[in-house]
Chain A
Amino acid sequence: MNSRKTSLSANIIQFCRFLRQKGFTSGMHEESTALQALELIDFGNSKTFFEALKAVLCRNREQVETFGNLYNEYWKKLDLEIDSKEKTKEVRKSEFKKNGSFKSLKTWLYGNQNGETEETATYSTAERFSEKDFSAIHDDENEEIKKRIKALAKRLAAKLTHRYEQSPDIFLPDIRRTLRKNLRRGGELLDIVHKRPKRNRSKLVVICDVSRSMELYASFLVQFMYAIQQVYRRLETFIFSTSLQRVTNDLRQKSFTDVKHLLGNENYGWGAGTRIGESLNLFVEQFGRKLIDSGTIVIIMSDGWDTGGIDKLETSMRYIHSRAKMVIWLNPLSGYEGYKPEVAGMRTALPYIDVFAPVHNLESLKQLGKWL
């Protein structure tokens, strides 16, 4: 592919092609812009040359960051080929798997064989701060989960109420507002105001347990949180183990790679002990008033294994239940046959839960739609 060309313009075009292989959007248009740019600068200066190409060919932040390396790689390769006439083999971009395979879900369903974690789930009191590595999660699975959650979110957002709201687009004429608005012009109807049915916009709050006992499901949880944040705007996400962290902003990143990196942060207490009571109490104190109202659905994902105070759990759950529209508790364990919510934490919380459902496979994700 990278055979040496003697003229500069040919080299530039080849460089653009090289970038295209690396995921840049450098088409015809960019090629000609790059050539135009070179007309304007002193391309004898290698630094100027580099900056100019960078300014023209990068389209987003990720590209800005990788451009330097790719630039070096390409022009170094060229230098190597000065004396050789051999053509290097074409590097083919690894093909993107089309069917989301739910690798992480499958692996733990079938005995967790990818070596990510091979310990049994239990709870612990010790605070363990370790960085979590999510690199084993593949991007292609996200698409499928995203699709499922998108369907859920759509259902959430699509509920129309009987009330109307003002609409900037032409929909139904709003007679009352139209008359009112035109009164001051002597009653001549110049502007027509429109209305549309109000949408029922539920807010969502997701509170997710990432403690040691939930470690088996960690990668699924990350995918779930990421996907739901991507498709549903009115959403706040928190994670807790021994204390509570707000991760809404971390999840709002564009690329899943960034999210994996940010969420893996050691301060987030992945795999530490569980203090549901304290964490929920903290949530109620800091965010309860602000985030929970009668239109909010609170989703708590936890197995209910707790080492903290039961009293605090009860008061917090009572508060959340009394203010929120609905409290959904998703317990990965409850998908197993014969599961009974007998853990102390779970038993305490149960009276304040509207929906107690499993999240253990795709089917259960679908079921979730029934409740929302």
Chain B
Amino acid sequence: MGRQRCRLHFLKETIHIVEMIQLDDIKRMLQVQGYFTDDTVAMSVFLSMQLEKPLLVEGPAGVGKTEIAKVLAKAMDTKLIRLQCYEGLDATHALYEWNYQRQLLHLKMTEHNEQSLEEKERTIFNEAFLLKRPLLQAITQEKKPVLLIDEIDRSDEEFESFLLEVLSDWQITIPEIGTIHASKIPQVILTSNRTRELSEALQRRCLYLYIDYPDFEKEWTIVKHKTPGIDSKLAGQITRFMQELRTVKMEKKPGLSETLDWAKALASLHIDHLDRVVIEQTLGVVIKDWKDTREVQLSLGELMEKTGIIPRVDKL
């Protein structure tokens, strides 16, 4: 128990040094940047900032996982460094690479110099010849950056364990130069689409946040704020329709970003309410799979009935 208290005491000291941000500030900060959120998200972001732990965000596509990082970078007025993961991504693409071509050219140019071999070697293995990839960039920043590691589930397991090492030690060793320690520990956001299970070790290192499709109230607020000039009746209809649409069994469920795209499209067409023709003509904005499109077209009548959009004919 005594040890615990000692630890807490130590923590208190360090937090005074880190800028003291309150929980409510986070929510306000995100809102100012146009990101509407709930308590769970705000709390996770807050704790991840304060405890300096990476935040692992999971959820279906298009609910604003990546957006968190972007908004956070804006709110903290700092750089966003993005590492997009893909199958086959390896350490050289994430950390650093030597600029071979430049080194070679340099050697050719200095061929007839009187420099000794050691000296030449020292010059070409210099930071000037180093291509910094996202992870190295992130730890060599002057100001605490936001590091976004996007779609971590797409990378290989080897890369994941490599990442684990970087995330825990915050240092990178380059054999020719030496070890580079992080000047500022970056604010890390990892996103995943749950296509595969992440390793337990990585999960334990992070705080976890699951973002689901927004409920009606939240989605409606976001639609209204993100598409200025939209008819508020239309916004309501769009949101209700999307909420119902997600209950249909589909290959790819439309996310919040599809809702916003649709709202923007309809608003720029100066449409003030939904009807069958409008929906059928603009369905391509929301649904990106031909099978889903067919499915939705078949059940469009039922969907419209549920959402209270009565076809124009009935109105007359």
Contacts and interface: CB of A to CB of B under 8 A. Distances in A.
Interface in B13-43: 15, 23, 39-40, 43
A39 B47 contact: no
A35 B251 contact: no
Contacts of A39: 8, 11-12, 15
B23 A42 contact: yes
A190 B104 contact: yes
A344 interface: no
Contacts of A56: 47, 207
A265 B248 CA distance: 12
B281 interface: no
A33 B43 contact: no
Task: Provide the main secondary structure of the chain A interface.
Answer: helix
A282 to B, nearest CB: 12
Contacts of A36: 8, 11, 51
A60 B203 contact: yes
Interface stretch (B177-185, B192-200, B305-313): B192-200
A252 interface: yes
A55 B204 contact: no
A252 B194 CA distance: 10
Contact of B50 (A9, A40, A42, A254): A40
Given A25-B204, A59-B208, A249-B251, A40 B8 contact: no
A55 B197 contact: no
Interface stretch (A44-52, A89-97, A113-121): A44-52
> Which of the four size classes fits the interface of chain B?
20 to 34
Given A40-B15, A55-B209, A35 B47 contact: no
B4 A51 contact: no
Most buried by B among A42, A59, A168: A59
A238 B298 CA distance: 22
Contacts of A41: 23, 43, 46
A32 B4 contact: yes
B151 interface: no
Contact of B197 (A48, A185, A254): A254
B194 A48 contact: no
Contacts of A267: 249
A98 interface: no
A287 to B, nearest CB: 10
A54 interface: yes
Interface string B102-119: 001000000000000000
B297 interface: no
A29 interface: yes
B4 A48 contact: no
Nearest to A185: B104
Interface string B151-195: 000000000000000000000000000000000000000000011
A37 B39 CA distance: 15
Interface string B82-107: 00000010100000000010001000
B137 interface: no
> Most B CB atoms within 10 A — which of A37, A40, A47, A246?
A40
Contacts of A163: none
Contacts of B40: 51, 54-55
B315 interface: no
Given A40-B15, A48-B23, A55 B47 contact: yes
A246 B53 CA distance: 40
Contacts of A61: 58, 194, 210
Interface of B: 4, 7-8, 11-12, 15, 23, 39-40, 43-44, 46-47, 50-51, 53, 58, 88, 90, 100, 104, 194-195, 197, 200, 203-204, 207-210, 249, 251, 291
23 contacts: A9-B4, A29-B204, A32-B4, A33-B53, A35-B4, A35-B8, A36-B11, A39-B8, A39-B15, A40-B47, A40-B51, A41-B43, A41-B46, A42-B23, A48-B39, A54-B40, A55-B208, A58-B208, A61-B194, A64-B208, A168-B88, A190-B104, A254-B194
Interface of A: 9, 25, 29-30, 32-33, 35-37, 39-42, 47-48, 51-52, 54-56, 58-61, 63-64, 168, 185, 188, 190-191, 246, 249, 252, 254, 265, 267, 286
Given A47-B39, A55-B47, 9 more contacts: A25-B203, A29-B204, A40-B50, A48-B39, A55-B40, A55-B207, A58-B208, A185-B104, A246-B251
